[in-house]
Amino acid sequence: MDYFRNLLQLLKREREEDRIQYQKLTETTSITERRANGLTWYPIAIRGSELGRGDYLTVEVERTTHQDTPHQFRFGVPAVLFSNHDPKNDRVEGTISHQSGDRLKLSLRVDELPDWSRDGKLGVELLFDDNSYDEMEQALKTADALSQKANHRLIKILTGEQSPTFHSEQPELFMPQLNPSQVAAVQMIMSANELAIVHGPPGTGKTTTLVQAIKALIRQNNQKLLVVAPSNTAVDLLSEKLHEQGLNVLRIGNPARVSERLTALTLDYKVSQHPHMKEARKLKKQANEFRTMAHKYKRNFGKAERDQRKALFDEAHRLLKDVAASEQYVTDDLIAKAQVITATLVGANHYTVRGLTYHTVVIDEAGQALEPACWIPILKAQKVVLAGDHCQLPPTIKSTEAARQGLNTTLLEKGVALHPQAVSLLNEQYRMHEHIMGYSSQVFYQNNLKAHTSVARHALFEGDPSLVFVDTAGCGFEEKPDGTSSTNPEEAALLVRHLTQLVAGLSQYYAPPDFPTIAVISPYKQQIAILKDQIQHTPELQPYRASLSVNTIDSFQGQERDIVYISLVRSNTEGEIGFLADIRRMNVAMTRARKKLVIVGDSATLAGLPFYADFVTYAEALNTYYSAWEWL
């Protein structure tokens, strides 16, 4: 089917571009730069090793310095152990089988540690992740083959060839904890035969709705459900909420948020706690002792030692086979008893659950999910529920060419356009003052959003305006190009001045422990660096550092704060606004604030795009438009 062949071509392009960027990053940079980019842990110490699956050695390593540097190491990703002595040759590849805090476990493709691991400093570095691409490619090929068969309705519906169906004899739902639009969404999910879509704008309680729907589905069919999302963080959130509702949740893969509660839901933990595993642990310990004894005999001793060494290895091998059989039995038992399996999109094909099929698959944050990745879980189900918001950020795509040709259009977006009858809009939000919500509702949600009474009028203090636009037009704040980013130091200084005044005013109403939370965000990375620096050097803001975060817009998707400042940066005579033209990113930015949103920008540069021109009009109508001259 052309549909899947086209997707395969786009995915191929994306893989090539991703690989090229990755190679550039690793081959032309020093180890210090790679560490700063989150690709390398160096130096590390080996904290232990044991034989794991298939006689492969698993080593546990810990990074001993630079522990606060953010990194990209995560469960299931390929990585290499290397020595700085000869990084080109002293290296052994493996896969990350566990990661938490400053420790990770690496399953290596060898049965003992190489000799060089005892000299020189060691490090771990990420390899290019071909595995995810292989999984996506395989899913698309399978979907293509299945689409030729007449009986595969779900594929035909998702590709737009057929329409979804619903059964009407649904009993009336009584869910007092949900609002009417949330109940309607659950009703839609229950009555759908193949497809239901939950469109959840910011703050509308999408997670709450999904959790209740999942509970209802389990009651309805008494069958296992698969719940997936593109990021570990989103999977964690749902896993935790489902567990709190008393469901038996099995989290496949590794939680990003390493809390005790989440660890207890993982397969590894549940296996280790299973009563059957006590005996197996004893055997494993014994096997590792035999292995250690065997390693004392070097390979170049005489025949008797060689035989002794082989006998010890054979015995260790036999014991480990018994352990593996026990582990398999326990794993099968745990999977059989689970009501909900949770994983990332690619994690849905983890070897422990690869062969499972489900009645229903729920894909959360589907607005940020790459379509080829969605087909991995979809092929395991008869029915799919897509939840998310296609008016917020799309998935990150490395290849501009692939994005332009349609890879950035998500399955959620296609579904909303093809099958409006399957869409439920959650229309009541519990986050923002109605003035903060109003513009987003007008532009993205056809004015359908309403603010719940608990938030509609909430303010920092009586009479404080909830939305402010500070216009820097005519102030001569010229932006400066900075590599691939842009900066505007004078705009940053103005924002910090405004923030300092606000904080001084608020200190009359709030003591530091109850101080409102504040986010300062911008689409431009380099502007963030300048803002961080200026805030650090403003003594009046230091007492409030605990409630103040500064970061890019993208890193705030899904989060909220009491007060949000946005620095738009762009200011030039040509009216060039770069990726400020991506209004979905601005939708994310403008909807993070609960009680106050302050936007600083140059209306003369921005007004070329109706989105910004109309926003200025909106602020003027609320009487919350100010010129920057008032603070200069």
- Note the residue count of the chain: 632
Task: Let me know: does 387 contact 416? Beta carbons within 8 Å.
Answer: no
Pull the structure tokens for residue 366.
Answer: 């589907």
Task: Let me know: does 216 contact 222? Beta carbons within 8 Å.
Answer: no
The pLDDT value recorded for residue 446 is 97
Q: What is the CA radius of gyration of the chain?
A: 27
> Is the link from the previous residue into 70 a cis peptide, with omega within 30 of 0?
no
The pLDDT value recorded for residue 300 is 62
> For residue range 190-243, what is the model confidence (pLDDT) as tens digits?
999 999 999 999 999 999 999 999 999 999 888 999 999 999 989 999 999 999
Which residues of the chain register pLDDT less than 70?
Answer: 53-55, 298-300
Residue reference for tokens 């003594």: 539
The pLDDT value recorded for residue 5 is 96
Long-range contacts of 111-118 (CB under 8 A, 24+ apart): 111/51, 111/55, 111/56, 111/57, 112/57, 112/291, 112/295, 113/46, 113/49, 113/57, 113/59, 114/90, 116/83, 116/85, 116/86, 116/90, 117/46, 117/81, 117/83
- 158 burial level (CB within 10 Å; 0-12, 13-18, 19+): buried
Phi–psi pair at 81, nearest 5 degrees: -95, 130
* CA–CA distance, 614 with 609 (Å, rounded to integer): 9
Pull the structure tokens for residue 359.
Answer: 């009645």
Percent helix, percent strand, percent coil in the chain, to nearest 5? 45, 20, 35
CA dihedral 9→12→18→21, nearest 10 degrees, is: -90
- Give the dihedral sign, CA 621/622/625/626: positive
Task: Let me know: does 84 contact 42? Beta carbons within 8 Å.
Answer: yes
Task: Let me know: does 568 contact 616? Beta carbons within 8 Å.
Answer: no
